[in-house]
Amino acid sequence: MPSLQRRQLAAAAAFVAAAVVLAVQLITPSPVVVSVGENGTTVSELGTYFTTEDVAVVAAAAALLGASGTYLLAGHRSTPDGAGGVTSDGNASIAGRHSTAGADDPVSADRSSGPEPSDELLETRREERAEIAARLSTNEEAVYDAVLDADGVLPQSEIVAGTDLSKATVSRTLDTLESKDLLERRRRGMGNVVFLR
């Protein structure tokens, strides 16, 4: 972990230094000579604006600025993908979890790491289905029924695949259903798993 912080600090220092060098090179004015004579004053420039050395410094500073900025913005994992363990943001990677449920299956992995709807809750929600459906819009009812029919646990991507709704519509509908305390989303890997409440 300390080596990662040292690398980030070095990248930040390189970023600042490159930005300063680049700024100084770009705002340095070209040499100017002002002459006062019998006919008035004349202004003339000496040489070109950038010398070959100036262009080389600007190119090197821009490359260093881009590389260090990309490193800082893109982030960096402390362990390689699939190795498990803890990522740089402090979250455990999925491969690092030990579970009898398959780690490749987000629903199975999630069932082992959090409370899933009990049989009692499922039975209660099924009995209240008509009453709940009466206060839901068509989209809300379709999403709610999909999760209820899947025994209360369903990946969000399967809701999109199983209904005629777009990803954006499913996401907005889940927002509404969460605010009504009927469903709950939990982040798993690259997607969400939806649970009945």
164 to 145, 146, 158: CA distances (angstroms): 13, 12, 11
Tens digits of pLDDT across the chain (197 residues): 566 678 888 888 888 888 888 888 777 756 666 677 777 777 666 655 666 777 788 888 888 888 888 888 876 544 444 444 444 444 443 333 333 344 444 444 444 445 677 888 888 888 888 898 889 999 999 999 999 899 889 999 999 999 889 999 999 999 999 999 899 999 988 889 999 88
Reading the block at residue 31, the tokens are 């040499």
**Coil/strand/helix, residue 121:** helix
119 and 185 in a single domain? The answer is yes
Question: Domain of 124: which CATH number?
Answer: 1.10.10.10
Domain's final residue, options 74, 105, 127: 74
**Residue that finishes a domain, picked among 43, 74, 105:** 74
Whether 95 maps to a domain, the answer reads no
Count of structural domains within the chain: 2
Write out the residue range of the structural domain in which residue 66 sits.
Answer: 2-74
Asked whether the beta carbons of 188 and 157 are under 8 A apart, the reply is no
Assigned domain for 174 exists: yes
The verdict on residue 97 lying in a domain is no
User: Quick one: 67 and 125 in the same domain?
Assistant: no
3-state secondary structure of 44: strand
Stated pTM of the model: 0.44
pLDDT given at position 1:
52
Final residue in a domain of this structure, among 42, 74, 106: 74
Task: For residue 99, tell me if it sits in a domain.
Answer: no
